[in-house]
Amino acid sequence: MQIPSFAVLESWPTPNYTDPATRGPENIIITLIFYPLVCLIVGIRIYTRLRISKSFGPDDWLILAALFPTTAFAIISLVAEIHFGWNRHIWDVRADTITAGLKIVLAMEVLFGVATTLTKVSMLALIYRIMAKGASRLAKVAIGAMVLVAAQGTAFCFVVIFQCRPPSEYWTLSFKPQPDCISETKHLLAAGIVNTVTDLIVVVLPIPTVWRLKLPIQQQVIVILLFGAGFLVSCAGAVRTYYLYKVTITWDKTWEAFPVWLSSSVELYLGIICASVPVTKKFFSHHVPKWIGSAMTSRSNNASLTFPSILSPTLNSSYYKSQGEASVYPLHEYMDSKNGFGEHAAAMKQSHSISISTFNVTSPERVHAPMSRGSHGIDGIYESSRASSQEDLVV
């Protein structure tokens, strides 16, 4: 790294190593909030694919692989800020920590490139997995996009590592120009622009397929939020590119690099979350109705002392077991077979005037279509009416 001339050094303020001005704790806060959330969402995704849908595929392997460089990036970004002063002015950073700080910066750039590349390829693999059943043209576009993203990510990491020959020239301090190093400004600006474009491709590519699906209002809201977060990731990439350019044209790199850390963290963490949330739908469809049903049954049992036999799960379980647990009831009218009571039981509880002998559990007023194999809770209600949703956007 070339350091400024003596004239520039003399123009800097007196170093303050005791109580310097700093950028603030924003990067620490973002990391402490979003990184655990990333781990949680990825964990739910892996559980869903392994235990519920039993369809663990290449997209899951890729997102799991992306978690490792993401973890290293989160740790190193905190170390760079807390121990090496990459949140303060360059004149307030001790000279003996600059070399180590430059090594960390180089490692962070490589880790970020690997993590974002794996995340985008995972999302494209998921898109291909969905589109391969129908839109063959879009499936081919997804394959082409995967090749482009993988090539771009590999080239970026290669150029970052070998931008100087030997690579140690990058963190070697010198007053003279370094002819054995390529222009950091040019290659980081080009890489940032290509990265932002590929972010947009990943977000825009599935929109035509999703647009044609007739989804319920609740799922439309979720899909809109996901695409909104995807566009936010693209915006974070554009902001990161701008501040990367500013870092390369200023001497005060430790101060100007702080927005790069923030935008990089937002882009990386939100990218993994957006790539994983669609896969977790089956987990919540499978478990949330049971949790809600258990909570409502518990409240009903605690509130009612008049009809203990009607509110007992044993009665309902025996009935539904005899029916092969083949019926599905709307959650707002009927509880799950193992967790609640029928519409008739609710009416009896309210009237307090109908005897148990008149309660006919074998003739419910409403019975919906049989639940297909593999459906759970609310999922079964919608399956017959929206078969074109391609298994809720995820196979």
What confidence score (pLDDT) does residue 322 get?
A: 37
Q: What are phi and psi of 332, to 5 degrees?
A: -80, -10
Q: Any idea of the CA torsion for 91, 97, 102, 103, to the nearest 10 degrees?
A: -170
- One-letter amino acid at 171 equals W
List the chain domain ranges.
6-281, 304-389
Residue pair 34/271 in contact by the 8 Å Cβ criterion? no
Q: Per-residue pLDDT for 176 more than 90?
A: no
Q: Per-residue pLDDT for 37 more than 50?
A: yes
What confidence score (pLDDT) does residue 378 get?
A: 39
Q: What are phi and psi of 4, to 5 degrees?
A: -65, 165
State the Cα–Cα distance between residues 365 and 281, nearest whole angstrom: 31
Per DSSP, what are the bridge partners of residue 174? 2
Residue with tokens 């482009």: 148
pTM as predicted: 0.72
Q: Per-residue pLDDT for 155 more than 90?
A: yes
What confidence score (pLDDT) does residue 389 get?
A: 37
* Per-residue pLDDT reduced to its tens digit, 180-205: 888 888 989 999 999 999 989 888 88
Q: What are phi and psi of 174, to 5 degrees?
A: -155, 140
| Selection from 328, 283, 343 nearest residue 52 by Cα | 283
**Alpha carbon distance, N-terminus to C-terminus of the chain:** 49
Q: Tell whether domain 6-281 is in CATH 1.20.1070.
A: yes
| Selection from 23, 28, 34 nearest residue 266 by Cα | 34
Residue 127 pLDDT grade (very low, low, confident, very high; cuts 50, 70, 90):
confident
Q: What is the DSSP track for 168-211? A: GGGG--BSS--TTB--HHHHHHHHHHHHHHHHHHHHHTTHHHHH
In terms of C-beta density within 10 A (0-12 exposed, 13-18 middle, 19 or more buried), how is residue 106 classed? middle
* Per-residue pLDDT reduced to its tens digit, 275-324: 898 888 888 887 777 665 555 555 555 554 443 443 344 444 443 433 33
Give me 340's structure tokens.
């609640």
